[in-house]
Amino acid sequence: MVKKILLLLLLLVAMVPSAYAQRTILFATDATWPPMEFVDNNKQVVGYSIDFLKAAAKEAGFKVEFKNTAWDGIFSGLLTGKYDAICSSVSITKKRQKKMDFSEPYFEVRQALVVAKDSNYTRLVDLKGKKVGAQIGTTGYFTIKKADGAIAKSYDEVGLAMEDLKVGRIDAVICDDPVAANFAMIKYHNDLKISAIVKTDKTEYYGFPVVKGNHEVLDLINKGIVAVKTKGIAKKLKEKWIGK
């Protein structure tokens, strides 16, 4: 009789959702953006943003999973429910905020001008009539489109733009400064350089987009962001992935 009662209690417990069960949040990431999000030699998605979210998840009490997704269509995938949020160095813009809700900012970014090592181009205005590459749909690409006379050339991945710059098919690349530093100062340090930081109208920040009105996910992410910043974890991660 005692065994039957214990078995019944166990069944009842199994049927009731645990109050302590952690929410799993699935993030899409275009892992072609080192050192923020990229695939390492072990085929693992790594980077500053990835570590930041893992730390935020630990602090706020949720689980995190990542789905490597091409940039082209990453926003439509969010809106159609393929994942809960995006972790892909997404700059917070007014245009994007009309379609999605954003977390609190987690990283300040600037647009950098990358050119060949022997190039004399130091300003975007110097590139009038010249081909300037960027990943399509990024703020770097939007910056080129706004420039007077520069010929914007779009790429599915920023690495492809850097390769074309290296061999002389284009004259410059514009992208976020940590990514520019990774390519110009590490991967192609013998061939490329950062010649300037492009001046923009306002400060640019990364955030994690979610579907509009998804307060459950947004609140958890924001809780984690605040903890990671206030505890100094963000600073340590920046030193690890980007340097001092």
Query: What pLDDT, in 10s, does the model give residues 131-173?
Result: 999 999 999 999 999 988 999 999 999 999 999 999 999 999 9
| Beta carbons of 37 and 47 less than 8 angstroms apart | yes
**Whether pLDDT at 1 is above 90:** no
Give the per-residue pLDDT at 7.
52
Kindly list the domain boundaries of the chain, sorted by start residue. 24-108+205-241, 111-198
The pTM assigned to this predicted structure is: 0.84
Domains 24-108+205-241 and 111-198 share a fold: yes
CATH 3.40.50.150 is right for the domain spanning 24-108+205-241:
no
Q: Is the dihedral of CA 203, 206, 210, 211 positive or negative?
A: positive
Per the listing, tokens 């779009």 go with 154
| Beta carbons of 227 and 60 less than 8 angstroms apart | yes
| Beta carbons of 60 and 221 less than 8 angstroms apart | yes
**DSSP conformation class of 21:** P
Looking at the DSSP bridge assignments, the partners of residue 100 are 211
pLDDT in tens, 197-231: 998 778 999 999 999 999 999 999 999 999 999 99
| Beta carbons of 111 and 186 less than 8 angstroms apart | no
**199-224 burial string, b = 16+ CB within 10 Å, else e?**
eeeeebbbbbbbbeebeebbebbbbb
Q: Which CATH architecture has domain 111-198?
A: 3-Layer(aba) Sandwich (3.40)
